[in-house]
Structure 1
Amino acid sequence: MENKVVLFDKKENFCACGACYNICPKNAIEMVVDEYGFKYPKIDYTKCISCGACKRVCAFQNVIEKNEPLQVVAAARKDENKIMKSASGGIFAVFAEYFLSIGGIVYGAALVKENNTLVPKHIGIDSLKDLSKLLGSKYVQSDIGNVYKEIRTLLNNKKQILFSGTPCQVAGLKAFLGKKYENLFTIDIICHGVPNAEFFKGYLEILEKKFNGKVLDFKFRDKTSGWGLNSKVDLLINNKRKTEYLLVGESTYYHMFLDSQNYRQNCYKCKYTNRHRTGDITIGDYWGIEKEHPELLKINGGLLDTKKGISAIIINTEKGKLGVERLGQEIVYFDTTYEKVAIVNTQLREPSKYGKYRDKIMEEYKIGGFNKVDEYYYKKVLRKIAIKKKIKKFVPKFLWKKIKIIYKLIKK
């Protein structure tokens, strides 16, 4: 075939946002899993007509829209019961509730039960009873499927749409649509990078073996002990539902994620880790607020509670500004700066650093799946953390400090 379309030359130049898959007029593109569990497009050249539509909508290779922040605020929803169901300040939920109240459709990432496991997928909901599916952080790449096509049809039928996703997914949707819609509101998240669904599936299987049950639900961020990073899993054990709480330092998958060891290759060269945002607003945890704005915290007489969660909202468009103002009665918010939010949220300044163990992790996965990865990472990293915790538990604080000083001197 002449002028054969090649979507990318290196894996670091492809993000799997789904725009190319959705735009193909001949359904010639299939998303297939590579040897490391990540999805990449495969073109059926017997169907391909070399129209180039897939190349044109690749927002990762052709950054199509750039928005500079208009305003940045620290925020949290006022309803203290509802905020506990969200990962941080509950801002996405407030916007979602509004769109559902006016008959709109809300799209976001969910963990959907398929083939007896939880699969990360983007779904659309039109009822408040389904909102819980979209709440909370999902530290895994969601499958877009045909969602962009669905959204285009709904937008053309004058439906109000709220779409939330990673910056590359928001950019992918906009590139696919090819024009602006007044009835579309977009939220991009402050994103570290994304592991793949195969890794996550393998991790859930390990949890099922460990607890001798079947996973029913999984929350990456649980607030039982306050705003933080611990997760929880609900399992069916002996026909009874049981909840297990998981500490970050005890979870190979989660620890790898937080240490940027298991992301897609393109995440380490992400083009969206800067001030040029893809959504009408950007949301994420306001880590470090206790240093930047201690006066805003409840413990100091303010209105924001670090036990319940605090968000940063980066307002990127006039539409985003109007949205925040419209929902002002549901949230409390105070001005801050992009620079202050980006101090701890480094992905607002630069991509995540390539993980020290990433190459070895991928090798292990290729050899024996996530079981092999789990075994390797526990021995290499988590076992040391566990031993250190045990030692600290029994060694007085002053002595522990001396041990650390001696250890540093020996290393020199």
Structure 2
Amino acid sequence: MSFYLDQQSVSPETGSLGTRFLIYPQVPHLEGYEKPETVWISTPPDEIQAGPADRRMYVIDPLFEKPVYEYPFQPPFVGAAFPPAEAGPDGHFDHLDPSSRQFVSAHVFASLRRILDIWESYLGHEIVWHFSQTYERLEIIPQVNWNNAQSGYGYMEFGTELNDRDAAFPYALNFDVIAHEFGHALIFAEMGTPTVQANRQYFGYHESVSDLIALISLLHFDSVLDRLLRSTRGNLLTMNELNRIAELAGDRQIRTACNDRKMSTVSDAVHDLSKPFTGAIFDTLVELFHRSAMEKNLVDLPDDISHDRLFELGHHEIELINARFAEAFEARAFLLKSTLENARDLLGSAIARSWSTLDPNTLNYAVAGSAIADQFDEMGEKEAGDILMENLEWREIVVRT
């Protein structure tokens, strides 16, 4: 679990052999996230080369404009490159100037490596790349002239976001976008790739779970947890930072996890189609957190409203929930934070462990959701599985009798 992961890598006093980097939890042009935070990854300093690079992945930053990869043009990149990011005298990378090109390379590497550490801790084993028969390592291109990012066979590359004033912000500094693209590679690695033409829900599942991987990974920043609970006073039913899967310039966002979409209200467009499944999982996270807080007597909510959905609550019920959680936050903020971390890890483990049970050729939302519920049951959390199935039913993903 990620608690164990953090305990092993956060401090030299614990015997950690990890390496320090600086990462922005959200894009640095957002208020409150202007300064990067120190993060440890599990790779020891003596196993990281300039680039950065290790045995799992490497960064190379092309000197001249490189077209985005598209078959038959594939890795490795062999052209001239900018000077790589290098470790300081102590073997760590947290000395780099955030305004430098080398910092961008170090940032995307550390973000991907940290996300890999998190999800390997949930899975309990090392992830083998789905492209391992062709490439030993993942190639990372941190900056290309393209308003997008992509995860492909043996590579990831990141363009730049342009705001309304044509200011450029590298997607390699956007943790949410990095985690989303990495999510596709994780799913391919653990579930495999289809051998026949997959259905639309398979592609919607990829977008949805990649969003959820980004969301759960984001919750491993202490600053994000603290800001989240402080801004909501502990009540996650309100719109907040957690819902903003990929931040862009200003207050725009790509997708929201907190939504009221059902299968009957979405189109076949993949990103739209992904919303009911994402919403069902997000609802489950919120309810796991709320119920656990109640069971630990951290907050007192009437039983008759604790099971209702945000979209079905009246004004009086919402005001009551807000008031009770605000009282709990003032008195027991640290315990609420620990409770949210537990809900995060329980959900992350169930999602990750479900991948090995799924067939990409026959996958649909009902099967994928039931597989996560089964993992809750196997972990001795049957109530969590029941909560998820109720949420899937409300979203019109499953029909239960």
Please identify the structure whose Cα radius of gyration is greater: 1
Q: Which has the higher strand share?
A: 1
Higher RCO, 1 or 2 (CA under 8 Å, sep at least 6)?
1
Scaled by the length of structure 1, the TM-score of the pair is: 0.28
Scaled by the length of structure 2, the TM-score of the pair is: 0.29
Q: Which has the higher helix share?
A: 2
